[in-house]
Homo-oligomer: A and B are copies of this chain.
């Protein structure tokens, strides 16, 4: 049992979006990569379409946002953050956008490309 405001309890099968936002993201070597900027919700199905990772300065090119399938985030209680099993080289070539630019949120092919890139089957292909 955890109240909505209890950020010290990572147990349980539910988590508030506010607890996800701002959480640090690490690679499998537990090096800090960035943080979760937000999660994008698919309105019709109520599914998390993407977790948006913010890797500011990570690649030396200022803030960039990387949409990832939710399945790629694994919470690690030791470091108190999410670990993503993605190589740096893979991330460097991953679909991303800048703060200024627009992302292809309404472009189905763009979204499919994100999922394909990470080897995850798009949830919208699966019957609800």
What residues of chain A have their CB less than 8 Å away from a CB belonging to chain B? 1-6, 11-18, 20-21, 37-50, 52, 65, 70-71, 75, 97, 99-107, 123, 126-128
Contact = CB atoms under 8 A, between A and B. Distances in A.
B14 A105 contact: yes
How many copies, total?
2
What 9 A-B pairs have minimum CB-CB distances, sorted nearest first?
Answer: A46-B70, A46-B48, A17-B17, A12-B106, A1-B102, A3-B102, A14-B40, A14-B105, A16-B38
B17 A43 contact: no
A107 B1 CA distance: 8
B42 A41 contact: no
27 contacts: A1-B103, A2-B102, A2-B106, A3-B97, A3-B102, A4-B38, A4-B52, A4-B65, A5-B99, A13-B43, A13-B105, A13-B106, A14-B41, A14-B43, A14-B106, A15-B41, A16-B52, A17-B20, A17-B38, A17-B39, A17-B40, A20-B41, A43-B75, A46-B47, A46-B123, A48-B48, A127-B127
